[in-house]
Amino acid sequence: MSLDEATSKRHDRLHTYLAEDLDAVNALIHARMASEHAPRIPEVTAHLIQAGGKRIRPMLTLAVARMCGYAGDAHQKLAATVEFIHTATLLHDDVVDESARRRGRPAANLLWDNKSSVLVGDYLFARAFQLMVETGALTVLDILSNAAAIIAEGEVLQLAATRNIATPEAIYTQVIRSKTAALFKAATEVGGVIAAVPQARMCALASYGDALGMSFQIVDDLLDWGGASGKMGKNTGDDFRDRKLTLPVIRAIARADEAERAFWVRTIERGQQEDADLDHAMDLLRRHGTLEETRDEALRYAALAKGAMGEIPLHPVRNMLIDLADYVVARVS
Amino acid sequence: MSLDEATSKRHDRLHTYLAEDLDAVNALIHARMASEHAPRIPEVTAHLIQAGGKRIRPMLTLAVARMCGYAGDAHQKLAATVEFIHTATLLHDDVVDESARRRGRPAANLLWDNKSSVLVGDYLFARAFQLMVETGALTVLDILSNAAAIIAEGEVLQLAATRNIATPEAIYTQVIRSKTAALFKAATEVGGVIAAVPQARMCALASYGDALGMSFQIVDDLLDWGGASGKMGKNTGDDFRDRKLTLPVIRAIARADEAERAFWVRTIERGQQEDADLDHAMDLLRRHGTLEETRDEALRYAALAKGAMGEIPLHPVRNMLIDLADYVVARVS
């Protein structure tokens, strides 16, 4: 068994442990995305939700609730809430990014249109809030509505930074902390809140969620450049074409000489890209070692996440959550 | 003083009565639409929120809370919530409708871009939920999150019906009940809920809000055709150009002869419009009397709203709310 297979196997253990909860969450998701009056809604959402992804965010809520000894079923509603917020964000991202593909299928805005993506996303946001209101837990409502505001703020911030090669690394960090880590963190926290864990443990949970989310997004951004080795494939180069600044590029720009700088200005700021430019960009990232550095950043956050779990009492799920941090970075390490 | 002036004066009385509350709501709106990290957010929202509109929805919440003897300040947060939900919907509508103007100013999506409209709308939705969570009133959260889902559902339903000349009147009614009346109704209800009024009175409040909202939207749709007299001006004909089916057109299509039907198929379904078509469409509406009928529908709903107020005990605000129903239809009667 390779290292990759072993890591994936460990991730499966969490999935197996939560199988019953996950089935209940899937049933909830399907029931709540239905619409009596507007059949286009489940058409659009089924497309995204059935594609599935790894359900990593709702799994966090379920896992933490179980780990902290929660015995009710509100964690399932909250897990569905988290997945709805995530899916709504994806739908609105599809509009925003004019991205051609999402989760390996054609993006919803190409199959239908921008209008449907916006409005169905709104519907899912509203459904998410309905679901969490049903739990009646005000602290949970507070955490998740704050997270929703932070996510939107992060997306706006990212928009303002796109195509601007002066974007500093601090802005990148803030963008990914808002647009990605905030929901990982909130998903983790609400699992603890409904289990009524003491404050000190809440802090450890929040740190875990934040660090896992940071690591997850950095890996995602690195994979768009083919990972630490920079191996280009059919799913690489989208961020370059979208003129999006992620960590490997921001660091390469910071160390660019005059000619390199002119290259980034032309391709990212002005958007004048030719066929050979992606390969040249990749060469620059390799030359400056920023792909490996980015992988190291992802590993650093994964280690932070695992460290945070050290403050949680022994429990089978605790080890699975530690393994999850390894799983997130396995694709680039 | 003309009838119009008298009606407008009566509307001013409600405004004056609520002046202190409205100031507090405006202060809340400005404080909460700020963003520490993304200055583009207040730029986009200020544009819409400062344009102002009549603040009719938040006024409903404030007025009903006062009328029902509420003495706290949660009604101000709820009024701001309602305005945020409304503004978020407008921002997303601007994307959806590709509309060129909103509240007499260039639409936000032309000044900035579609991306900003979507994301800043999301931010306002999230801010709305944060604000209502702060009130800690679960029934209120339930009502407003349901309303948000119904609004989105109505917008999707409208999207599916656009350009389809087979759209029956029942679908039109359902669309405007969802996309417009639902928020009027929720705004009215939450004012009663925080004042803890008895159930029977809650029903009267809900009926008032629903009927006022229906009347408001029918008037809006009629004004797009120049009102009951069909007087065209610079703000008329947008719905025809957008190929949107509203009550005057739906009824005219229902009574169309073969040639008229061919006209609607060409202009609405196929979107092949020439300069003289808007005038011809107007002629058809006049010929079939559907503009007057639409005005009568608006008046019928206004009367329903006033009737619902009959079940509320005497109070100065009660009469102002009755006057508000007259005010809403004054522009077309």
Q: Which DSSP string corresponds to A211-223?
A: HHHHHHHHHHHHH
What is the arithmetic mean of pLDDT over A80-105? 73
d(CA A326, CA B27): 48
d(CA B194, CA A146): 23
For A129, which residue in chain B has the nearest alpha carbon? B145
Q: Do A125 and B130 touch (CB under 8 A)?
A: no
How is chain A split into domains, by residue range? 3-330
Which member of B35, B38, B133 has the closest CB to residue A145? Answer: B133
Q: What's the whole-number mean pLDDT along residues A210-224?
A: 97
Confidence of residue B51 (pLDDT cuts 50, 70, 90): low
Q: A94 phi and psi, to 5 degrees?
A: -60, -40
pLDDT per position as a tens digit, B125-142 = 999 999 999 999 999 999
Fold annotation for B3-330: Farnesyl Diphosphate Synthase (1.10.600)
**Three-class SS of residue A196?**
coil
Q: Give the one of A95, A126, A145 whose C-beta lies nearest to B148's C-beta.
A: A126
What would the pLDDT profile of B189-230 be if each residue is shown by its tens digit?
999 999 999 998 999 999 999 999 999 999 999 999 999 887
Residue B323 has pLDDT above 60, yes or no: yes
Across the interface, whether the CB atoms of A120 and B37 are under 8 A apart is answered no
Instruction: Count the residues in chain A.
Output: 333
Helix axes A114-135, A19-32, angle to 10 degrees: 120
Residue B225: its pLDDT value, please? 95
Q: Is the CB of A95 less than 8 angstroms away from the CB of B118?
A: yes
| Three-state secondary structure call for residue B310 | coil
- For A:56-75, CB contacts with B below 8 A are none
Residue A227 CA: distances (Å) to CA of A222, A231, A330 = 5, 7, 11
Evaluate whether B211 touches B305 at the Cβ level (below 8 Å): yes
Distance CA A14, CA B39 (A): 41
Surface-to-core class of residue B275, CB atoms within 10 Å of its CB (0-12 exposed, 13-18 middle, 19+ buried): exposed
- Token pair belonging to B315: 């109070």
Beta strands A105-106 and B105-106, pairing class:
unpaired
Nearest-Cα distance to chain A for B33, in Å, is 11
Report the C-alpha gap between A21 and A210 in whole angstroms.
Answer: 23
Q: Do residues B43 and B33 touch, judged by C-beta distance below 8 A?
A: no
Res. A162: pLDDT tops 90: no
Residue A35: phi, psi to the nearest 5? -145, 125
Which amino acid appears at position B288 of this protein?
H
Q: Which residue is it, tokens 């990982």?
A: A184
**What is the tens place of the pLDDT at every residue in B264-276?**
999 999 999 998 9
The pLDDT-based confidence of B329 (bands split at 50, 70, 90) is very high
- The rounded mean pLDDT for chain B is 89
> Which chain B residues contact residue A126 at CB under 8 A?
145, 148-149, 151-152
Q: Of A84-93, B49-58, B102-111, which has the strongest mean pLDDT?
A: A84-93
Residue among B15, B93, B25 nearest B54 (CA): B15
Query: Residue A320 belongs to what H/E stretch?
Result: helix A316-330
Residues 6+ away with beta carbon under 8 Å from B30? B49
pLDDT at position A194: 97
The pair of structure tokens assigned to A139 is 């602290």
Q: Would the pLDDT of B45 be above 80?
A: no
For A286-306, the pLDDT digits (tens) are 999 999 999 999 999 999 999
